[in-house]
Structure formats: C-alpha cells, structure tokens
C-alpha cells in the first residue's frame, strides 16, 4: 500500500470524524472541499468519506482500517482498470435486488454483488453506501471482510457463481479465509 495513500486517507478520515462529531452532519455541506481534488485522484468522492465517518460516529463501525482497505481496493481498480479515469455512470438504486433476496440461501448476496461492482467502478450514487448496516450484517454473518469481498468480486467479475461459491466456503470454514 502506498504510504502517500495511507497517510492522506488517515488524515482525511480523522478530519471527517472530527467534523462530524462537532455537528457537521449534512453530507451536502460537509466541509472537506480542500481534499476533493486528492480524493478524485484516488477515485473517491465526498460521500465515500462522509458515509464512513458518519457510520463510525453513530455505530462505531466500520473502523478506519476497513475504510482504508475498502478504498485501497477502489483505488487499485481505479488506477489499474480505469486508468485513473472516473466513470460517468451511476448505479440506479432501484436496479438493486431486494434486501431479502437470497442466493444459495444467503440473504443479501444478490444485492451486495452489484453494489461491490459499482463501488469498484466508482458508480455508487450518494444514496447507496458500500459497507452500510445491511452490508455489515452480511459480512459478519458470512465471515467476509468488505475489502476481501471487493477483491473477490474483481477477480470473478463475470462469474457470479464463483463469487457465490466463495462466500459459501467462507461461511462454512471461516478460519481458512483470514
């Protein structure tokens, strides 16, 4: 992991958490304008920071390391697959499978796969968070780390069954995936 990436994201995270804690709780007015150019260079945006800072302040999760690792996977995809060119597309939230949909008995799995792809491509709209409470329940229940799921989604991009099988394996033998 790049020291520059880690150092800047740590500073941005700490600032965002502090800002939220002192009352900056409106995403539209969240005062991190000075970091927007740098975030764009990482393939990120204001909501990527706000959502994680907000959930940390309200729920004490996801933690900084999860924030860092998730966005490191995004940055890798952004630089390697997108050649540092942001997508002009946004995921239509209404296209996501229902929260109760299942794949091989695993609730939320049909929903998290397109969310993970959209996160990697930088195509999540402000109303959709990768790592939200529902996602976190899915990750905890199935013994999967959010960044690990992004990496597997990237590896098996066009093979949804391989992603499903991987999650089934994680669920049945959690210690083999740490």
Q: What is the pLDDT of residues 72-130, one digit of tens each?
A: 999 999 999 999 999 999 999 999 999 999 999 999 999 999 999 999 999 999 999 99
Tell me if 170 sits within 8 A of 149, measured CB to CB. no
* Cα angle value 139/121/154 (rounded, 5°): 55
Tell me if 153 sits within 8 A of 117, measured CB to CB. yes
Phi, psi of 8 (to 5 degrees): -65, -45
Tell me if 108 sits within 8 A of 130, measured CB to CB. no
This prediction has a pTM of 0.94
Tell me if 150 sits within 8 A of 156, measured CB to CB. no
The one-character DSSP state at 102 is: E
pLDDT in the model for residue 2: 74
Domain spans in the chain, listed from the N-terminal domain onward: 1-86, 87-178
pLDDT in the model for residue 178: 46
103: enclosing H helix or E strand? strand 102-103
CA distances from 150 to 31, 74, 75 (A): 29, 8, 11
Tell me if 123 sits within 8 A of 89, measured CB to CB. yes
Tell me if 13 sits within 8 A of 49, measured CB to CB. yes
CA atoms of 148 and 163, how far apart (whole Å): 11
- Of 150, 177, 163, 23, nearest in space to 77 by CA: 150
Q: What is the pLDDT of residues 5-46, one digit of tens each?
A: 999 999 999 999 999 999 999 999 999 999 999 999 999 999
Alpha helices in the chain (DSSP H): 3-21, 36-41, 46-59, 64-80, 109-121, 133-142, 146-155, 160-172
């Amino acid at each position: 992991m790049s020291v520059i990436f880690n150092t800047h994201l740590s500073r941005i995270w700490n600032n965002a958490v502090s800002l939220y804690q002192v009352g900056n709780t409106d995403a539209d007015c969240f005062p991190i304008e000075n970091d927007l150019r740098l975030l764009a260079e990482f393939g990120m945006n204001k909501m990527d920071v706000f959502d994680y800072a907000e959930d940390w302040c309200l729920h004490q999760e996801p933690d900084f390391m999860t924030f860092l690792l998730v966005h490191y996977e995004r940055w890798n995809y952004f630089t390697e697959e997108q050649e540092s060119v942001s997508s002009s597309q946004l995921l239509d939230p209404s296209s996501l499978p229902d929260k109760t949909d299942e794949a091989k008995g695993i609730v939320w799995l049909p929903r998290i796969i397109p969310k993970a792809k959209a996160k990697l491509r930088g195509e999540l709209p402000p109303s959709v968070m990768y790592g939200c409470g529902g996602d976190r329940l899915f990750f905890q229940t199935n013994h999967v780390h959010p960044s690990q799921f992004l990496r597997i989604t990237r590896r098996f991009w066009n093979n949804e069954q391989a992603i499903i099988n991987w999650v089934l394996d994680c669920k049945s033998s959690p210690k083999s995936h740490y």
